[in-house]
Amino acid sequence: MLQAARELLAVRTPLDAELMVSDMIGAWWGKRVKGGDVEQVLGEGLVDYAAKAGTPASLTLLICLAYLGTARQGAKAEGAALAMMEGGVARPGWAERVGAVKPTGCYVSRDAYGDQDTVICTFAYRWGEAAAPSALAVAGQDRHALVMVVDHNMSGMARDAWVSSHVDKLLDQARAEAEANPMLLFEEIEPQQARALLESAMKATREPKTPPPVSDSYSAYHAFARSRLKALPPGRKRPAPLHIEAPYSRERRAMLAAEFLASDAAEHLSDPSAASRCADHIIDYGCEQDFSRPMRVSPVKCETFLLDWLPRKVFLSRAEQEAMPHVLSAWVRFAAGRTGLTERGLRATLDAVWEATAKFPEAYRDPTSFGLERPLLERLLPDGDLSALARRVFAFPFLQGVHGDLDLEKLNPADQADRRTLLRFDHVGEIDEEHLAWHEEIATRLWDGDPPQLWEAAQRLLDLGHDRHEVLHVLIEIAERIGGDPEELAAALDDIADIPDEI
């Protein structure tokens, strides 16, 4: 990277330098390293290495990292750069203007369904009293736009990002597309609103432990975007898509379901009980996965709900499986009438539901088809959270059969007292109550999925061929060593790549 940084000495503008360094440090965005946080191991390691080099190229790299790096990287890079400049190391003339930008406007291009926001934030470099604009700046190339795509069907995550120096052309094109397509909206928004939305989107992109579904170029612009957003004024606490609704209480959700079931759109549904439960799932999805917007419907949202979220998250009865596509179609008609969705949008959404309906029986694989009896599933999934099945089976493998006077099928793994009895049977011959208590602690955490890194670490170890008993003892050792700090526990679990020899 220091060799590549030599090219920074040849660039003509701070924008080119910032984009080059953002691309460089994007090489490790979203990656994992053994033994620590990737930003600490590689990012701060690069700062330290560049500081030792003491060359004009390394100084230029440090100046850019002071602006583009994380808070820790930035502080270290700034201190190292100041020391090098005091020592007489030369720097390019544009270096003092790195990150010295002011926002000039924020805009959003939004589809009528509310699926996606394309946010455009424009900036210009500030000029000091002694500095004169370059010919490039006079020609308009000093202005630039950060463009980010926010996908509200993917928990509001940022899916794509890029930068353009053709600001006027970009804005004119966005306006023209909105004028030509009635399903697109384009408007200027407050900078505070843009910052809140994009910071929330970048956080949602950063949270998944598996690689997020972003564009190939997202990592190259991640550091640039993160730093540019800090130039926008803060002030909005609600990091939401535009026109968000207030959070739905349980009572409000129940009232909405009742209104739907009493509406003309639902009058043809033949199984009121199954329809009621399906409506609850639709509303919960809109509230919890779509920023409290259960009434928002779109082709993509309905397809994602039916073919992706439901098969992963919800334990449906046979009646609910049969009713769900029909209830979803009725919900689309009900919601469209309430939200004013155009006839064109309604038809497109119903067509998408119809196409997804043919794929739903294959997408939703009933757990009973794999040999698990429904009474057992109901004991493991009293909350209907299908995604919890594997970790709960791992935590409580003995739930059936009669052993002496003990009928395991009468024990409830969700009950704390019964949970201790089940775990005691799992450890026949072990009388160490403290050790048993730690098994109960891990089993409870696995049952609740708290923290999620616990089950992720267990799966990695199981994939390496370690048996269940060995894996549980590693998890216990880590939990016992870390104590009650949730962040330290999550970090330690993230670092597990294999079982140490001493375990």
pLDDT tens digits, one per residue of 400-419: 888 778 888 999 999 988 99
Tokens of 344: 């064109």
DSSP 451-466: SHHHHHHHHHHHHTT-
Least confident of 67-71, 278-282, 432-436: 432-436
Of 371 and 18, which is predicted with more confidence? Answer: 18
Amino acid at site 419: R
pLDDT given at position 152 = 92
- The pTM of this model reads 0.82
**Residue 336, CA distances (Å) to 38, 40, 243, 427 in order:** 46, 49, 16, 56
- Least Cα distance to 204 among 153, 256, 157, 143 occurs for 157
Q: Are strands 184-188 and 101-111 parallel, antiparallel or unpaired?
A: antiparallel
Say yes or no to pLDDT of 179 above 70. yes
Average pLDDT over residues 201-219: 84
pLDDT given at position 499 = 78
Q: Hey, what long-range contacts does 363-367 have (CB within 8 A, 24 or more apart)?
A: 363/306, 363/307, 363/308, 363/310, 363/311, 364/310, 364/311, 364/316, 364/321, 365/311, 366/316, 366/318, 366/321, 367/315
Average pLDDT over residues 435-461: 93
pLDDT given at position 430 = 60
Q: pLDDT, tens digit, for every residue of 122-143?
A: 999 986 544 444 444 433 448 9
Least confident of 203-217, 220-234, 285-299: 203-217
